Structure 1
Amino acid sequence: MASFVTEVLASSGKLEKEDLSSKISKLSRKVDETKEEVCNMINKKYNEFLPSMQGAEELMVQVDDVSKNINVLKNCIEKEVRQNLHVAVTEYAELKQQLEKNTTIIGVLGQLQQFDSAMEEYHRALQEKKYTVAATQLEKARGSVDALKAWKGCELQLLRALSAELTIQRENLIYHLGDEWQRLAVWKLPPTKELTSADSFLKTELHLNSRGQKEEAEESGASPLLASVLQSLAIQGQLRHKIKLFGQVLLKYVLKPLITYPSLHVDLMDVPGQGTILSFQSAETTSEHPSPSQVYTKVLTVLKALHANLLDVSVGEKKVSRVLGGLIWEEMSDCIIRECLLYSIPANSSQLEQYSVVIKETEEFEKTLRDMQYLTGDSTDLLKYARNVNCHFASKKCQDVIVAARNLMTSEIHNTVKITPDSKLTLPKLPNPGAGDKSKQQETGMKKASLTENTVTLENEKQLGCRTLCLPVCRISESVQQLMELALHTLSEAVGSSNQCASQLFYTVRNIFQLFYDVVPTYHKENLLKFPHLAAIHHNNCLFIAHHLLTLGHQFRHHLPKPLSDGTATFVDLVPGFRRLGAECFLAQMRAQKAEMLERLSTARNFANLDIEENYSAASKAVRQVIHQLKRLGTVWQDVLPVNIYCKAMGTLLNTAITEMITKILMLEDISTEDGDHLHTLCQTIIDEGPLVFIPLPEENKNRKYQEEVPVYVRKWMTFKELSVVLQANLQDIVDRWADGKGPLALEFSPNEVKSLIRALFQNTERRAIALTKIK
């Protein structure tokens, strides 16, 4: 083969006749011989010291000849051999490219053949309703088209035609599968607009026809239609979409109504040759929400029927029931929690032990669903919710308590009950915190014994009365009394509960009072400013709450779990705020009453020139209005406020009125005899009728001594009485009541004020001058 190539190349003029390999070998031998001779020469020249100039020149000529031959051979290789190698590589590449093109064409033809075969098999299987085979062949055809798209040399027009045909046939298959699916599960649904009550769902029906079609398939020897349809949908990627749509309708029209309405019940009817019909029936019930056992029974009835007639088919590694369960479980369990379990949480802690039945029913419900492969995994939100009943009980209880408290806070204030020192809130019976611990009891007994032995007799052996620290007689809102009873009941629920539950309930009670502090003054703001009666009741309400908050935490602290029992359970920090809240409300009402009283007195024309009938009428009217205002306040406050607060309030208002009159009268520069008589009459009206507002109620005669001591509550009362005396007295009487600065007049007025009164009442005479000199 090599000689043939050599001859061909030599005949074309590309190589010399002499073979290159033989030349190279000859040159190699020549080089070796020359090298040996050179070495011998050098050895002789330098070692043996034999001159050999002639031999050296001959050797140089031989070296030059060898070098020339090497250069000639090198040029030959560079020009001819490399050129021929490039040509050979180019020809090889062209041959390889042609081979690849032929291979590609053969591959395209093979894929076209596979596509055509798959489509023919697809059409045959579709006509015979072998949907699984049809879907498989369609996927093979898709694979062929995808392979053709990967080859760049394939014609674009051909690909478009194949892709269009593939799309058309895929849609055709999906249409047939959808049609078969609709025949397997036929819905009869009520109009959406009518879904307002349980009765509107009675029109819902679901016909499951897979059993009848399965019998037909077995008689004809064909494969089961249901499995074929579901597997075909899975191959085409449409199974999840179909099951999702089915699950949405199932939730909306079947499962959620069964969970929400206790009167709805499911009815299953088997029809020979057709399948199963699922429909609703209505039963009378008084329950607003179904019990968990009812819900679980109804839901399982539906899901078992679906599993037996429609979903008990394996597609790949999992069943269709698992697909449906994964799509509807979250929404269905949330509906069960929201519409059923939420309302099954006990209202009292004594019923918590009975809730274990619901937990067991929930476990069995989920176990049945796992057996049918609707559920996977061990832990679900539904079971977690049922097991966490203590927390939900506390949350529900807290929510109910807050709602009830807020309703009480926004109710009317004026419905009142009377509080007496003997009034007591009913405290629930609490267990003995040390019961069952003998060592603690013995230790406590030893401590008590040692304290008894070491007790030192106090000098003052008097003990506090039984009514010490009791609330005085007053009236509070009935809603506030109910609010305090609600707090006591909530705290009693915390006793014996878990740590988390007890903490939630305790802090809910604190939130009740904080809510009262924020809501009541804002919600009733206008009425508290407008009506003195309500302001007084609100003041009492705040004092009532503050009074009970002092001991409320102490009463329950030792019965609550840690850390509440270590001192955290207290309400004492809320007491100052409630006292301040009640005081501020009542003081605001007092300021409003004072302003109203001063406004009325401002119409008295400064009590000047009362000899003019018009001026005296205005002054008399102003005084009568003040008396009327005091009497009106007395009527609404006397039976509401505690006695001491009532007396202080009325005394303060009366003191405001007489202080204003004293100031106006002292400012007068000229008081005629007639003016003095009129002023005395007005003052005497106040003196006679003012103390009447302090007269006690018939059942409070024992407090008369506090209420009749008007000077104790009206700071300017004696000053006002002295002024009334001065307005009718002569000069000598005034001087006698002054008594050199030691008389009753001197105790109430300063020398300048007395002198000013004398100058205004009496003319400038020698007697007046003498009297003035005695006032010092």
Structure 2
Amino acid sequence: MQTLSNKIKGDISSQLNSSTSDLHDLTRQLEKTNAIIDVLQSLCKVNSLLTDFQSFVQNSEFLQAADAINELKSDLDVLIEDGYCELKIVKALRSELRVNQETLLHHLGEAWSAMTVWTIPHAKEPVTLTNVSQVQLKVVHSENAAVTVNAMSQVGILKSKMQVFGKKLMEYILKPVVTLSNIAPAINAAKKSQSTTVGFKVLPKSSEEPSDPVAVYKSTLAILKALSGPLLSLKTEGKNGDENTTLKAMLGEYVWPELSKCIITHCLVHSIPTSSSKLNEYKAVITATKGFEASLRKTGFIAETASPLLTYARDVNVHFANKKCQELIVEARKLMKRELHNTKRVGTMKVDNKDVKDPKQDTKDKCHVSEGIFALPECAVSESIECLVNLAYQTLQEAASNTPQCAIQLFYTVRNMFEIFCDVVPTYHRDSLVVHQLGHLQRVWTDILPSNIYTKAMSTLINTVLMHIVEKVSSLEDISADDAQQLHSLLSGLQDRIPHLIKPGEVEEPVLVQSTVDQWTSFSELLFMLDASMQDIVDRWAEGKGPLAMVFSASDVKSLIRAIFQNTDRRATALAKIR
């Protein structure tokens, strides 16, 4: 037994150790061989996929080509993860994968372009009434459309293609429908070529008024209905075969925000009435807006909860008030900038004695007030100011018959009109408020400056004003009869005020204006010429010896005669006498 035990320990143990070592070597060789086989199998599969890909692309089987590309990429990723990224063949296959991906994208792009054919003006040229007839979109209903769309979804370019398509559709088709009122969509559905063409025709309308919302809704629905053929009704499928969404819904997601904003800005804003009497007529626009959004939801173009147009249209009272207030402020500013010195008579005449009660006849009513005590006395005011006051009264009357919210806004607008008046009129007409400024200086300086200094200072200012007036009027090249009459009336008022402005305070002694204001004589002679006949001017010139010749040169007098009187033989004779 001992001998047998020793033999087992000696011979058999060494053989077992040798067998175990051989087993490990064979196992490693087997694993290596299996790995090589796996790599070769993967490479064979990749080669087969590359061959199939070329066949799929040639036969326009883009969905199978996309699946082949995705599977090819997955197999190469496994080889790279296993550490074979440095193999030359793997590097070559990765390059081949990129080339094939670009090839597929190129063919898909061409297929998409063949299904959506655009004819547009120059890329940088906006769509206007002159070139809108050149715009055309042709949608071809290809049998291979579903394969192409799903392949684009598989490779991840469908969204970007739909975004570009939606941007073009908005810029060249939908936006012109909203902004141009003189066009109408021209839709042609050809059954033979299985295509739909959308273009425009220019209507023979001369008005450039904003588009009518109802007409815009009708044209927009007609275009979207024409485009909602087999192509936009296609549903994309995910990688697991689950249905995602239609192209129509995807397009609406990209187009609807901008389209709704465009309709509000260029259409609904202008359709808001400017008179409260027309608010009831706006109900037709609200109804049309509601129907428009309902039609879009029914076709699947917009989501069930999307209704920005209807929300805007229903707030018509708010928008009416805002628009009305804005227009009132603009109109008030225009009135404030009109000529200040165009005046008219306003106020009430003096109340007749027969309309005034005799206090002796009504001793019981000691609090009796005359009917005309609060009446505006008859006076002359600027025509623009009267128009501004009438505008304020009309606005307040309209506010009284409006909703409380609108009435409050209109009331504040009237208040803002008068606040703006205090800022605009003194600033805009500051060059015309000369007499007002001189009167203000008279009130300020009278109790501050000594009489002689006041007279000298005021005379200097008035002299500057008169010199400026004489210079400006003399430089005019054409003075109509109405202008000459208005100038004479306006400057005559200044002539009457100047003596009172020069006289300081309560001084009763008159101040000799001719001795203190150098330009007084020139100013007086200018007034004379503005209201005189041609013969009177010639007589006052008196062959260069009259009072007119003392302050004006012959060229100045001739220039004024040419400006005031028409070119006749009498004028030529008069000009010949001025030398």
Q: Does 1:187 align with 2:44?
A: no
- Following TM superposition, by how much is the alpha carbon of 1:153 offset from its aligned partner in structure 2, in angstroms? 4.3
The Cα of 1:356 is off from its aligned counterpart by 1.9
Structure 1, residues 647-677: CA drift from partner, whole Å, max 9, x if none?
A: xx98675453837x79xxxxxxxxxxxxxxx
User: 1:6-17 counterparts in 2 under 5 A?
Assistant: 11=10
| Deviations 1:235-289 (CA, angstroms, capped at 9, x unpaired) | 1111112122222222222111111111111111233422222221111233511
* Superimposed CA distance per residue, residues 549-569 of structure 1 (whole angstroms, 9 cap, x where no aligned partner): xxxxxxxxxxxxxxxxxxxxx
Partner of residue 237, structure 1: 156
Equivalent position amino acid for 1:142 in 2: K
Q: Which residue of 2 aligns with 1:292?
A: 213
- Against the structure 1 CA distance between its residues 602 and 155, is the aligned structure 2 distance closer, same or farther, given a 3 Å change threshold? closer
* Gap change, CA 1:509 and 1:339, over 3 Å in 2: same
- Tell which structure's C-alpha radius of gyration is larger: 1
Question: Retained in 2: the 8 A contact 1:265–1:281?
Answer: yes
* CA separation of 1:599 and 1:153: change in aligned 2, threshold 3 A: same
In 2: Cα distance, 1:95 partner to 1:352 partner: 96
CA–CA separation in structure 2 for the residues paired with 1:340 and 1:194 = 23
CA contact (8 A) 1:598 1:657 kept: no
Report the Cα distance in structure 2 between the residues aligned to 1:400 and 1:126, rounded to whole angstroms: 63
What is residue 587 of structure 1 aligned with on the other side?
440
Name the structure with the higher helix share.
1
Instruction: Tell me if structure 1 keeps the 8 A contact 2:175–2:262.
Output: yes
Q: Which residue of 1 aligns with 2:325?
A: 398
The 2-side partners of 1:198 and 1:636 are apart by 55
**AA aligned opposite 2:202:** S
Q: 1:591 to 1:154 in 2, by over 3 A?
A: same
What is the aligned partner in structure 1 of residue 130 from structure 2?
Answer: 199
The offset of 1:403, in angstroms, is: 0.9
Name the residue aligned to 2:374: 469
- The residue number in structure 1 matching 2:545 is none
Question: Which of 166, 171, 185 is matched with 1:266 structurally?
Answer: 185
State whether residues 194 and 200 of structure 1, in contact with CA within 8 Å, keep that contact through their aligned partners in structure 2.
Answer: no
Matches within 5 A, 1:691-702: none
Higher relative CO (CA 8 A, sep ≥ 6), structure 1 or 2? 2
- 1:276-291 equivalences under 5 Å are 276-285=196-205, 286-291=207-212
- Check whether the contact 2:66–2:154 (CA below 8 A) recurs between aligned residues: yes
Residue 526 and residue 133 in structure 1: after superposition, are their counterparts in 2 closer, same or farther (change >3 A)?
A: same
CA deviation vs aligned residue, 1:738-772 (integer Å, no higher than 9, x gap): xxxxxxxxxxxxxxxxxxxxxxxxxxxxxxxxxxx
Secondary structure, aligned partner of 1:278: strand
Alignment partner, residue 658 of structure 1: 507
Superposition deviation, residue 117 in structure 1:
3.1
RMSD over aligned Cα, in angstroms? 4.2
Change (3 A) 1:125 1:392: same
Paired with 1:487 and 1:8, the residues of 2 have a C-alpha distance of: 130
- Superposed, 1:148-227 pairs within 5 Å as 148-192=79-123, 195=126, 197-210=128-141, 214=142, 224-227=143-146
2:121, 2:134 within 8 Å by CA — same for their partners in 1? yes
Which whole-Å CA distance do the structure 1 matches of 2:203 and 2:214 have between them? 16
SS in 1 for 2:328: helix
Structure 2 unaligned blocks of 5 or more: 238-243, 351-361, 458-462, 464-488, 516-579
Q: Which residue of 2 aligns with 1:506?
A: 411
Q: Kindly tell me: are residues 122 and 411 of structure 1, through their superposed partners in 2, closer, same or farther at Cα, counting changes over 3 Å?
A: same
1:458, distance to aligned residue in structure 2 (A): 11
The aligned amino acid for 1:231 is N
Q: Counterpart of 1:311 in 2: which secondary structure?
A: coil
1:419-477 CA distance string (max 9 Å, x none): 22469xxxxxxxxxxxxxxxxxxxxxxxxxxxxxxxxx997623122222333333222
Q: Which runs of 5+ in 1 are unaligned?
A: 1-5, 15-83, 85-89, 215-223, 424-456, 536-583, 604-620, 622-631, 640-645, 663-680, 686-776
Map of 1:356 onto structure 2: 283
Correspondence for 2:493: 636
Matches within 5 A, 1:22-421: 105=36, 107-192=38-123, 195=126, 197-210=128-141, 214=142, 224-274=143-193, 275-285=195-205, 286-316=207-237, 317-421=244-348
The one-letter code of the counterpart of 1:292 is P
Q: Whole-Å Cα distance in 1 between the matches of residues 272 and 31 of structure 2?
A: 77
Per the alignment, do residues 514 and 601 of structure 1 end up closer, same or farther by CA in structure 2, a change over 3 Å counting? closer
> Against the structure 1 CA distance between its residues 318 and 413, is the aligned structure 2 distance closer, same or farther, given a 3 Å change threshold?
same
Deviation at 1:327, TM superposition (A): 1.2
Contact preservation (8 Å) 2:196, 2:227: no
Q: State the alpha-carbon separation in 2 of the partners of residues 156 and 359 from structure 1.
A: 70
Is contact 2:236-2:246 (8 Å) kept? yes
Q: How many angstroms apart in 2 are the aligned matches of 1:653 and 1:349? A: 54
Q: 1:166-222, CA deviations, whole angstroms, 9 ceiling, x for partnerless residues?
A: 111111111111112222121122235664631311111222222xxx4xxxxxxxx
Does the C-alpha gap of structure 1 residues 190 and 656 become closer, same or farther in structure 2, counting only changes over 3 Å?
same
Give, in angstroms, the shift of residue 337 of structure 1: 1.0
SS at match of 2:325: helix
Equivalent pair of 1:265/1:280 in contact (CA under 8 Å): yes
Taking structure 2 as the reference length, the TM-score comes to 0.69
Q: Contact 2:66–2:155 (CA<8 Å) still a contact in 1?
A: yes
* Residues 8/513 of structure 1: CA separation in 2 closer, same or farther (3 Å cut): farther
Normalised to the residue count of structure 1, the TM-score between the two structures is 0.52
